Amino acid sequence: MAQNLVVVRNIWTQEAGTEHFGSTYLIKALEHLEAYKAMHIPHLASIGIEIVSDHVFDVRE
């Protein structure tokens, strides 16, 4: 799914010994992030992932 966006970098994460997974995406523009969320959150729900949280940060230069 990330190929459809202007993604600079993505990192997948997992908390060892748990079923907690996550990801961090570096995306060039907020509107691209919002489009990704609109596409990805329903996809997650379709595979049984119902609890989703997100945080948006600016990159410090």
For the chain, which residues make up each domain, given as ranges? 2-46
**What token pair was written down for 34?**
């919002």
Q: What is the pLDDT of residue 60?
A: 85
Q: What is the pLDDT of residue 42?
A: 94
Tell me which residues of the chain have a pLDDT lower than 50: none
Q: What is the pLDDT of residue 36?
A: 86
Q: What is the pLDDT of residue 61?
A: 81
d(CA 10, CA 42): 19
Q: What is the pLDDT of residue 19?
A: 83
pTM for this structure? 0.65
Q: What is the pLDDT of residue 1?
A: 52
